[in-house]
Amino acid sequence: MKFSVLQMNTRSEKSANLEQADMLAAHAVETDRPDIVVLPEVFAFMGGSVADKWAAAEELPEIGESGGEAYETLRGIARSHGVFVHGGSFVERDGDNHFNTTIAFDRSGGELARYRKIHLFDVSTPDGREYRESDTFGAGREIVTYDAGNVRVGCSICYDLRFAELYRALAEAGANVIMVPAAFTLQTGKDHWEVLLRARAIETQTYVVAAAQTGTHQEGNDERASWGHSMIVDPWGHILAQAREGAGHATAHVEIDYLDQVRTRIPVARHRVL
């Protein structure tokens, strides 16, 4: 199967962000004919205040019912282009709670999976900036996989990447591709992004597919930058495709036969004792 990762510069104008996602997906489909299109974390809204994020949030519909603007944009991409869509993430509202949530769709726009980000980014980066994702979001609790054609997809989001135990659990649940929609900061991304993606691919012997935010956005009065460098990594740790600077996309084939070869050559799962 062929995967395309979309690289976006999402800001705090939801309608413009959804238009950007639609346009980038259409261009990827036109040029590369992928089977699966993958969007970045918080593709629908990024920046602003906590109140702004909550205002952009959407309640998830019952399966088969109509949803909000971001939900329907993702479903529309799947339906109009006949592709699977791994919807990065957007802000989900559930009563008084909010979550950073991935939705995936099949080629006809049928919902395949929902995943709420488990690990929340509450850190101080080397440049002194404070990030408090828990001020906006609650944490998910469920490990989620789904089938897209002959591929079993495992779900993760951004900061999840630092927790190898989640990726091991996804691989043990049968995932042969693990998605990493992200908005890695410039400060952490330049040193850790590629290293972590390749490490998770090698450890789990899966393909790792990472669609990222790029460029700058306003967070209150503070301008913040995302690292970008969306990429697709094979189970040997090789980078198969990487997006250029700025908004765009990158595409690569995922070959299950090759994955099986890697797992046969170095049978890590069979050798594991702990």
Residue 133 a catalytic site member: no
Strand 239-242 vs strand 90-94: parallel, antiparallel, or unpaired? unpaired
Question: In 3D, which of 181, 174, 186 has the Cα closest to residue 146?
Answer: 174
Instruction: Note the residue count of the chain.
Output: 274
- What secondary structure letter does DSSP report for 181? -
Catalytic residue from among 53, 92, 111, 158: 158
Residue 117 a catalytic site member: yes
Question: In 3D, which of 154, 158, 161, 143 has the Cα closest to residue 177?
Answer: 154
**CA 166-168-170 angle, 5° bins:** 70
Residue 130 CA to residue 100 CA, distance in Å, equals 19
Distance in Å from the first CA to the final CA of the chain = 33
Catalytic residue from among 41, 58, 92, 111: 41
Catalytic residue from among 14, 53, 117, 155: 117
Residue 62 a catalytic site member: no
Structure tokens at 220: 């209150």
Q: Which residues are catalytic?
A: 41, 117, 158
